[in-house]
Amino acid sequence: MKAKIMGAGSYVPHKVVSNAMLEKMMDTNDEWIRTRTGIETRHISEGENTSVLCGKAAMDILEKTGISAKEIDFIIVATMTPDGLSPSTACLVQDYIGAKPIMAFDVNAACSGFIYALSIGEKLIQSGTFQYGLILGGEVMSKIIDWQDRSTAVLFGDGAGGILLSATETENSFLGEDIHSDGSRGESLTAGSHLVTNFHTKENLENRFLQMDGRSIFDFAIRSVPESIRTVVESSNYTLGEVDCIVAHQANYLILQAIAKKLKIPVELFATNIAKYGNTSAASIPILLDELLTNGDLVLGSKKKIVLTGFGGGLTWGSMLIQL
């Protein structure tokens, strides 16, 4: 069996927080944020947790594709901000949309999470056991941000997005992948530590907030991502000139410019919506993909070749070459 992308969907909280609003909360300003990140606004949850964002994105996907929740065979949610350690966010989504008691589980690869989840979902479809699978990426980053830390608080937003995969004997949406991790550099981005505290250990203070070495992440991205993009395209027997669009994790517009320069391709090849949503971690790729499909910039069945690429905590990174 082959895996086909049937459609996409997304959901973001209604509350929009502008750079000007952040100026009132911390020592920063709109020009500084825009020129260094490309971000102008972000959507922030007013109480909806990750499972709700993902559930609403899933309902959007089902509505657009005309598939019933009862037809879904598995759900994978990519997130680094689950509702809790248990139950998984995917199990909560299964209940939220009214799906059958199907297989549902989470994947945590931070900002690369959607790539990881999509790779797993493709293999499940290829097994011939499943007909339909929901692959979701969702985050409520605002709940792990220290809103007094201007180095991270200005970057992130909340949201969810995803796609529906279906089994087919003829059409294959997936042409190649290149996925990696390097735990030796994991301290460059951490969040929500749970230290060992029991009657054998001394009391430890845990830091639940996201902490990031911005310079380290920037250097990692502009070194690893261009190589990954080139590898996935060339190993699939294509050239960069045959790629119609790159849907990259929306971390920082300057990173996208640097990646494009390193690959010697126009930065316009990279689709972007970071100005509106900021960095939504595992949600950024599917939110952008859904936006492109909804606006008609990309069309299912067009046979256009798209690179999806993510990078972030773990450290993790990966790229997939798909055909719509």
Reported residue count of the chain is 324
| Closest by CA position to 40, among listed 250, 201, 260, 312 | 250
Four-residue CA torsion sign, 282, 288, 293, 298: negative
Choose the catalytic residue: 19, 111, 245, 252. Answer: 111
Any catalytic annotation for residue 194? Answer: no
Sign of CA pseudo-dihedral 281, 109, 259, 8: negative
Structure token digits, residue 64 = 């657009």
Annotated catalytic, 108? no
Tokens coding 47: 């109480």
Q: Are 313 and 111 in contact (CB under 8 A)?
A: yes
- In angstroms, the CA 290 to CA 184 distance is 34
Q: Is 29 a catalytic residue?
A: no
The Cα–Cα gap between 306 and 288 comes to 12
Q: How far is CA 203 from the centre of its chain?
A: 35
Catalytic-labelled residue, pool 19, 108, 249, 252: 249
Q: Contact 258/270 with Cβ under 8 angstroms?
A: no
- Looking at the annotation, which residues are catalytic? 111, 249, 279
